[in-house]
Amino acid sequence: MRRQFVREAAKALVGRSRAIRSLAGLLVTFSPFGSRNRTARQPAGVRLDARAVSIPAGPTGGMSPGQGAQSIPPATTPVVEQAAMTRSTAVLHNATVDRRGLIRLVGQCVIEGGNRTAGGWGADTWALLGLLAEHRSSLLTKAAAGNKLWPEAESPNDRFAGLLKATRAKMCEALGMPGNYGRIVIQFIGGTGYRINPDLYTCDVWQIRDLLAAEARAKGSEKTAALIAATDLYTGRYLPDVPHGWARNAADALSRAVVQALAQLADLEEQPEVEIGYLERATELDGTAEHLYRRRMEVYARVGRPQAIHYCYDELREQLRARGRKPSSQTEQLYSRVTDFT
């Protein structure tokens, strides 16, 4: 009953904002965009039916803007995704709620739009989209992108134009837009840098970070609902196909944030078996988190599962051994104590 209440609370949060109208309807009213246009324009008479609210200066858990990144003026700051206050991807990106395209960079790398789902491209494409996702509240300059994507290349900027054009074309294709609308899906702002158009696309990593930021401000069932939604959206490692160091750092930061969210859910949970589930998933993501393994053993002891205690301890020992470490004395003492009574 409690988890059902949480799910209903999560869904109710979606109702606080009105969804962006269908992209197809907007495109019908758009005037033609000339090849010289550098940024997306909104034609007269067209109004995006959504409530815009400000976001924090930087995305929770994300990269700090790199060298050459420029802050976006308030007028161009991306809207916070109110639809991210839901329990699962199915609700977060339901076609009847949000008609934007979705760039998935967590657990997989695909672009979803009303026209098609596309994936299987080279690592450079996903690296560029990852950089743009990390520069949600700032602009990605060509110089910064070149240095991040091809740090060893002598002339990295020479490769950027072709990659940008190809990525724009694929994003347009997913939405069923003409290829010459590329400057709309990835905007070039003020002659300075690039960003994903938040009115046409959202990213799963943005949704997770928004939920975690909302959780910090929420209380009661809304807090639990935000935590559940964020952890449900985390289906695997962030930017799994991108080999660069900055991508690994961003992925590690997101993983740590999700582990912390799972630990919070365990704290809030009243049913031991559900609490165990959160702790088991947290230790799957962080195999060296001894404090979470200790909590698992304590709950196993509480519900009378002695075999699970031994399995948990052996699992931790193997994880630490692979890193040249051993369980701490605190863990050893707990293990001895709980096994003495089982």
pLDDT for res 194? 98
pTM of the predicted model over 0.95: no
Helix (H/G/I), strand (E/B), else coil: 329: helix
Instruction: Give me the residue spans of the domains in the chain.
Output: 2-204, 278-342
3-state helix, strand, coil in the chain (%, to 5): 55, 10, 40
Rounded Cα–Cα distance for residues 211 and 226 (Å): 5
Distance in angstroms (rounded) separating the CA atoms of residues 110 and 186: 16
45, with CB counted inside 10 A (0-12, 13-18, 19+), is exposed
Domain 2-204 has CATH 1.10.10.10: yes
pLDDT at 117: 79
Question: How high is the pLDDT of residue 120?
Answer: 72
Residue with tokens 């690039």: 194
Position 342 scores a pLDDT of: 52
Query: In the prediction, which pLDDT does 134 show?
Result: 98
pLDDT value for 341:
58
Amino acid at residue number 268: L
Give all strands (DSSP E) within the chain, no chain letters: 70-71, 101-104, 110-112, 117-119, 138-139, 186-189, 193-196, 201-203
Instruction: State which residues of the chain have pLDDT below 50.
Output: 1-2, 5-7, 9-68, 71-96
Which residue do the tokens 């960079």 mark?
Answer: 105
167 and 152 Cβ atoms separated by less than 8 Å: no
Strand pairing class (186-189; 138-139): unpaired
For 160-189, write each residue's pLDDT tens digit. 999 999 999 999 999 999 988 999 999 999
Q: Are 31 and 181 in contact (CB under 8 A)?
A: no
